[in-house]
Structure formats: structure tokens, C-alpha cells
Amino acid sequence: MCGRFAITLPPDAMAQLFSALPANDLPPVPNYNVCPTDPVHAILVEGERRLQSLRWGFLPHWAKSPTDGPPLINARAETVAEKPAFRDAIRARRCLIPADGYFEWTKDAEGNRLPWFIRPEHEGPFAFAGLWQDWERDGQAIRACAIVTCAAVGAPEALHHRMPVVVKPQDWALWLGEEGKGAARLMQPTETVTWHRVGRDVNSNRSEGAGLIAPV
């Protein structure tokens, strides 16, 4: 599961890292509390690599409105090629979603939700595997995305049984469809992560600031 994340890399550095042409309407950074339906940075290919702003919350073609049901923020790697909402996008419209790290929650003996911040052990951001598509109805057009998740393996299982699929730099071109077929093999846990407890302010989707990812 990935329901919140943080991104601090400036757009120009992001564009340089991913060799992508940046759009003019990118979301502001830093953002330490990216929430479902927020605009997120995404790298996709339309003739060339582009860094664009996408709504986090995939919209199937049959959705009557952007609020028609809960936002589809995650797509399970095990079923993404079969689900009607995702099967076309996973074949033809894949993207990368940069993130410094993401949040998960556990519960203590009293049932209180305890947040944790999970980040890469290496320098630089995660590149989450994503998929996207355009949705349009009644004159409203939205380009939206979801993050692909897989079963957690090893230490991250202590926090949650799911984790985002992370694409390594040497596989970015394959995931983006620039190097032919075979992207399905990338949908598995590959990233070594570390994590720490953070304050409970992040339990609110209205909280802001660097303190949200500070250890407690």
C-alpha cells in the first residue's frame, strides 16, 4: 500500500535526473504530505520523455466524475494486467513517479495509529512504477495515475504486507516502453529501504512541513 508520500527534489533537478522535458504546470515542491487526488510529478513518454503533473487517483474510462467512487491510487502487480480499469494502461501507458519516501502506519496496544517514513537506503529518490490515462467527460479533462504495488518481502513486511514497486535507473527505459517488451518482470520488490518513526501530525492530510518526516 502507498497512500501518502513526500517529494522534495526541485523540478529542474527531477527533469535532469530522468532526462525529461518539464511541463510548465508542475506541482510545488517540497511537499512532505502528498495525498490521494493531489497533483504529482510523473515521467512518461509521448514521443520523448516528459515530466508532467498527473492527478494521483486513476480514473477508469467509465467513471462518471472524478469523485465517482474511491480514488484508485494503487494497482496490484499481481492483477493489474487483468483488471478492466488498468489492463490497457499497464500495456501502453506506464510512468515513473518520483518520491523521497512514503508513509505507512502500525498500531500500538491501544489501537493508536503510529506513522513511519520509509525511504531508500541509497542516495536519490524512489522511482515508483506507475500507470496513467486520460479521462474526459462533460468538457472536463484529467490525466490521472496510480502507483503499482507488490507484496512486501523481508524487513518491510513488519510495517505492511504491500509496498510500491520501485524501478531501478537501469530499468527506467524498459518500464517507460522505450526498450520494447518485458516490463512485467519489473513488478516485484527490488528496493532496499530503511525507515523511522515520525510524529503523528502526518495522520492529518492537512499537515505540512519538513517536520512530518523527522524522526521521533
Any idea which residues carry the catalytic annotation? 2, 104
| Residue with grid cell 504529482, as numbered in its chain | 40
Within a 10 A sphere around the Cβ of 200, how many other Cβ atoms? 14
Q: What DSSP designation does 19 have? A: T
- The residue behind cell 525529461 is 20
C-alpha distance from residue 143 to each of 1, 29, 41, 44 (Å): 22, 20, 12, 12
- What DSSP letter does each residue of 56-94 carry, written as one string? ESB--TT-SSTTSSS-B-EEETTTTTTSTTTHHHHHH-E
**Beta strand residue intervals within 57-187, DSSP E:** 74-76, 94-99, 101-107, 113-120, 126-137, 140-151, 162-164
CB-based contacts of 78, cutoff 8 Å, min separation 6: 150, 151
